[in-house]
Amino acid sequence: MLPQMQAEEAMASSLNQAEDDVVGDKEEEESSIPSVKSFLWHGGSAWDAWFSCASNQVAQVLLTLPYSFSQLGMLSGIMFQVFYGVIGSWTAYLVSVLYVEYRSRKEKEDVCFKNHVIQWFEVLDGLLGPYWKAVGLVFNCTFLLFGSVIQLIACASNIYYINDGLDKRTWTYIFGACCATTVFIPSFHNYRIWSFLGLGMTTYTAWYLTAAALAHGQVEGVEHSAPVKAVLYFTGATNILYTFGGHAVTVEIMHAMWKPQKFKYIYLYATLYVFTLTIPSATTVYWAFGDELLDHSNAFSLLPKSRWRDAAVILMLIHQFITFGFASMPLYFVWEKVIGMHDTKSICVRALARLPVVIPIWFLAIIFPFFGPINSAVGALLVSFTVYIVPSLAHMVTFGKPSARKNAAEKPPFFLPSWTAMYVVNIFIVGWVVVVGFGFGGWASMTNFVKQVDTFGLFAKCYQCKPPKPVALPPH
């Protein structure tokens, strides 16, 4: 008992010292900046983390979930949402446990993180070694890269429903330049007001979709034939797997908290709120349009034009800008560390150093402009490992020895107080995701992705756009 008590006291002392450092920095900052600006700009509370998780979790995917329901069917769509939401919350909990374990060990060695943002690959490196670091770095960075690409494609797709005077590729050029301004946001500490606004925007959009679908009613001859093809079924399932896979920024959000040990169940609470947005909107839109959604991955494309729809489109555009910043911020941090600019205090110098990260994101969005199939492909090939498999395996390996379990900074949760039970849950998640998410999902999503490339081609000028109206020829 004595070593355990000493470990817990050391952990509490190190975290309290870290909190004092952050609070001291915050007080120093607030003494030189107007208080209103500090209130809007500098966030690190549990509420800030909740808003960040909820806002980041349900972005453009909100508009693709009805498309997934048309592939899965109503019952399977709801069941997969609940299932992946729960196991996603569990693996987010594992990530938070590993972060606290890593930080407690490092702070016992007098390592200071005052000017350094801890990231997931560093947690894996510190706990398990360089091979795990490489795995975390490759999967996380690739996932975040394509996550940013998806947001950029979605911006162009959404604005097209308000102004189709320009094609989607041209809108991608424009929004690529707009999203590049996220290089000026220093860290996740500075997302307080953006996270709050972003969640408000998706809340409005979700309930607009629900109300608009109910008001529209079912289209004439509506059919709900799903599921009919295995490839479509597993494509839809992996899109939902992607929906609840926002863990790639979990460590950075935790590090921005004044008391990161409070993060444990925040992701679960965020997921429960997200259910109130995703399930009603996806079910009602699918109820109204049925199989028509199979050819319309963006729900906006089937709803009639109105002021309410235009407002939802504009709000989603703003939110996608915010989510682009969420997804690209860890990439900015990695790049800064590679070139030795992470400790630089000048925002302008850091912004200039970050710009090379935006260029490949911009280029990929122009090459692959079909975000619905990309969601599923990213979910199967990247999210399955980044969000579900690697955290579960890392937790089992980290606490594989009796001494590690005895001296763990975080003990098993109250609802699963046995280490054996935790291992059983982790093994089940790894097995399920390897077979269903990566195996069947990878096959289905890549088959669908290749089909889109064959149909529309790379660098498609206007993916799933309405055909141009025929030009009337003058009478002879």
Q: How far is CA 423 from CA 246, 345, 403, in A?
A: 23, 43, 16
* pLDDT for res 19: 45
* Residue appearing with tokens 């150093």: 353
**In the predicted structure, residue 2 carries a pLDDT above the cut 50:** no
Determine the pLDDT at residue 12: 47
- Beta carbons of 175 and 239 less than 8 angstroms apart: no
Would you call the peptide bond into 227 cis, given omega within 30 degrees of 0 as the criterion? Answer: yes
pTM value is: 0.84
User: 29 pLDDT band (50/70/90 cuts)?
Assistant: very low
pLDDT at residue 152 tops 90: no
Tokens standing for residue 372 = 């619905």
Nearest to 61 by CA among 225, 245, 189: 245
160 is a domain residue: yes
Instruction: Give the percent of the chain with pLDDT over 70.
Output: 84
Query: Is the pLDDT score of 9 beyond 70?
Result: no
User: 433, 368, 377, 62: which is closest to 231 by C-alpha?
Assistant: 377
Q: What's the CATH code of the domain at 99?
A: 1.20.1740.10
55 vs 158: which has the higher pLDDT:
55
**pLDDT average, residue stretch 316-321:** 86
Ranked by mean pLDDT, the top range of 160-169, 172-181, 207-216 is 207-216
pLDDT at 28: 39
Q: Does residue 16 belong to any structural domain of this protein?
A: no
Residue whose pair of structure tokens reads 């920024």 in the numeric block: 249
How many CA atoms are closer than 13 Å to the CA of 307, on its beta-carbon side?
A: 0
* Mean pLDDT, range 5-9, rounded to an integer: 46
Residue 372 maps to a domain? yes
- Residue range of the domain that includes 117: 42-456
pLDDT surpassing 80 at residue 227: yes
Q: For residue 10, is it within any domain?
A: no
Given a cut of 90, whether residue 430 has pLDDT beyond it is yes
Q: Between 32 and 35, name the one with better pLDDT.
A: 35
Give the total number of structural domains in the chain: 1
- Give the pLDDT band of residue 3 (cuts 50, 70, 90): very low
Q: What pLDDT, on the 0 to 100 scale, is given for residue 422?
A: 95
Look over the chain and give the mean of its residue pLDDT values, rounded to a whole number: 83
pLDDT digits (tens, 9 = 90+) for 61-107: 888 899 999 999 999 999 999 999 999 999 999 999 999 999 999 98
Tell whether 416 is covered by a domain. Answer: yes
| CA quadruple 231, 236, 238, 241: dihedral, nearest 10 | -160
Residue 212 is assigned to a structural domain of this protein: yes
What would the mean pLDDT of 45-49 be, rounded to a whole number?
90
Confidence of residue 169 (pLDDT cuts 50, 70, 90): confident
pLDDT band at 374 (very low <50, low <70, confident <90, very high): low
Residue 31 has pLDDT above 50, yes or no: no
State the average pLDDT over residues 152-159.
80
Residue 248, in any domain of the structure: yes
Q: Give yes or no for a contact between 172 and 239, defined as CB atoms under 8 angstroms apart.
A: no
Average the pLDDT over 224-233 and give the result. Answer: 90
Supply 214's token pair.
């109910």
Residue 176 lies in a domain: yes
